[in-house]
Amino acid sequence: MEHGQDAAVRDEVALSMRLLRHLGSPDEPANLAFSPLSFHAVLPLLASGASGATRDQIVAFLGPAGADAHATLASKVASEVLAGRDGTVPEVRCAMGVWVDAALRLNPAFADAAASVFNAAARTIAFARAPSMAARPSSSPSLYFNGHWYSPFFPRLTKDGTFHVSPDHAVSVPFMTGSHLPTFMDIGCHPGFNVLRMPYSRGGDGQVFAMYIYLPDERDGLAGLVRQISSNPAALLHKTIVPKRPVTVGELKIPKFEVSLKVEASRLLRELGLDLPFSPAADPFSAMLLDSPQKVAVSSVLHQCFVNVNEKGTVAAAGTVASMMGCAMPDDHIVDFVVDHPFLFFIMEEDSGLVVFAGQVANPLLH
């Protein structure tokens, strides 16, 4: 990618950690899953229909790469990164759309830009006739990912074991314990945490996706790990966090898990400093509509996501609606990777470095 897009990717990675820090509670860690890329997809599209201070605030919220770089990245994501075909492995699908109430007039220039730049359909539709709904444009990116591990686990080797939800609370959960390549894995060891890279089978288009599991050394170290990664996400949330050379693995135990999240995220975005798109007093989307009889604004941002990880691979889906470096190890160094306490996970597209899905698991028994 060009330098501008590299900067936009760094902004998307940083946004991933900003969202993770605010969605999670350091006092009471809970399971959660979300798609940073889904959030990123909708914001440049909204920016293209916004004007004035609202557009400037959306662009500033996305990061210092700037409006053009983020629009170019969003276009590339829609047309290349997430343009997988149904029936392929990994199966990756992305759909973008903008809907405006039929009582309003959609700006043809915005509709053309949505289609040509963001690969998004823009059209009018008859919404519910409640007066409060008449002036609300809606934008929705939907992501779907179905990947098979490059080295799948053997279901017959899955065994129950102890998972420490906290230092004084443990539960019994099923752990995946073996794969076709059980002795060599991509693991990075760092002060305070270890990282396991689990690649998915590469599709015919050559795209490479992988899940990265970040495991703090301490059983109650999840909040500290989030702070540590947030201090330098460009380095600590990057494929170079794991050495290119696989290491010998001693004991390997990874819990099966399914986590989900459904959240009205407008409050989250407001707390992070993005408030003008939600204020009709600012007339924020004048570039989206023609001769609107009233000012319009985003009324809510509904984000839904789920991630399921098992012996075969991962299924993940998300939708957002707006209505370090590796470390070298000696050849004889044996590393255990036992995920028996709360951890973070990230699904990344490795050529670009984009974070497609992210989350944390505090208790694998809770869905």
321 near 334, Cβ under 8 Å? no
Give the SS3 label for residue 335: strand
- CB within 8 A of 330, min separation 6: which ones? none
Which residues lie across from 251 on neighbouring strands?
none
Query: All domains of the chain, ordered by start, with CATH?
Result: 3-147+259-307 (3.30.497.10), 149-256+324-361 (2.30.39.10)
What are the helix and strand counts (H, E) for the chain?
Answer: 8, 18
According to DSSP, residue 152 is labeled: P
Helical residues (DSSP H) of the chain, grouped into ranges: 3-23, 36-49, 52-62, 67-76, 108-118, 222-231, 233-236, 266-271
- The pLDDT tens digits along the chain (367 residues) read 456 789 999 999 999 999 999 988 777 788 999 989 888 988 988 888 888 899 999 999 999 999 999 989 988 887 777 665 555 556 766 666 666 667 777 788 888 887 877 777 776 666 554 434 334 555 556 677 888 888 888 899 999 999 999 999 999 999 998 755 556 788 999 999 999 999 998 766 667 889 999 999 999 999 999 999 999 999 999 989 998 888 888 889 999 999 988 888 888 899 999 999 888 766 667 788 787 666 777 777 778 888 889 989 888 877 766 663 434 444 557 888 999 999 999 999 998 899 999 999 999 998 7
Residue 290: which region, alpha, beta or left (left: phi > 0; alpha: psi -120 to 50)?
beta
The residue behind tokens 């557009």 is 55
Strands laid side by side in the 257-264 sheet: 121-125, 91-101, 138-148, 313-322, 301-309, 257-264
Burial class (CB within 10 angstroms; exposed 0-12, middle 13-18, buried 19+) of 21 = middle
Single pTM value for the model: 0.88
Beta strand segments in 149-272, E:
159-166, 169-176, 184-190, 193-199, 209-216, 247-255, 257-264
- CB within 8 A of 231, min separation 6: which ones? none
| Angle made by CA atoms 178, 183, 188, in degrees to the nearest 5 | 105
The number of beta carbons lying within 10 Å of the beta carbon of residue 108 is: 10
Give the SS3 label for residue 138: strand
C-alpha of 188 from chain center: 22
CA distances from 27 to 30, 134, 167, 213, 223 (A): 10, 41, 14, 21, 8
* N residues, the chain: 367
Q: Cα(226)–Cα(361) distance, rounded to whole angstroms?
A: 13
Q: Cα(123)–Cα(34) distance, rounded to whole angstroms?
A: 27
What residue type is 315 in one-letter code?
V
The number of beta carbons lying within 10 Å of the beta carbon of residue 170 is: 15
pLDDT for position 1:
47
pLDDT for position 95:
64
